[in-house]
Amino acid sequence: MNISVLSCEKCCAAFIPPKYICPVCRHDQLTTKPASGSGTVYSYTTIHVAPEKFTDQVPYHIVLVDLEQGLRVTGRLTSGTPRIGKRVECSRVDGSVYWFDPAGP
Ligand SMILES: [Zn+2]
């Protein structure tokens, strides 16, 4: 699925929300645009001791994903075992949490 990213109206740099000004050129007019939710795992960690709210979900995997646009986003892996370089696809965005499904080998 596509995700929403912010794009600077002046220099067209793109970012993951929340941002209030462009970190590249300091312009304050940002627009929400769709972007591909496909990417590869840059790094990951497995959570065994979680905050109280998530204790029923351990162990779970937090992945750092490089999206096709060159943006890096933190998310949760819905299933499978994380591996650096693994292809993933965003399946839902829950508030500020990005959920990724494994995609391909
Ligand atoms: Zn800018």
Per-residue tens of pLDDT for the chain, all 105 residues: 989 999 999 999 998 888 899 999 999 999 999 999 999 999 999 999 999 988 999 999 999 999 998 899 999 999 999 999 999 999 999 888 999 999 976
Q: Which of 62, 76, 9, 65 is nearest to 36 (CA)?
A: 65
Q: How far apart are the CA of 21 and the centre of ligand 1, in A?
A: 8
Q: How far apart are the CA of 41 and the centre of ligand 1, in A?
A: 27
- Kindly report the CA angle at 46 between 50 and 38, in degrees rounded to 5? 115
Q: How far apart are the CA of 23 and the centre of ligand 1, in A?
A: 7
The structure's pTM equals: 0.86
* Cβ 60 vs Cβ 97: under 8 Å: no
Rg (CA), the chain: 15
Within 1-105, strands assigned E span 2-8, 14-15, 30-36, 38-47, 60-67, 72-77, 87-94, 97-102
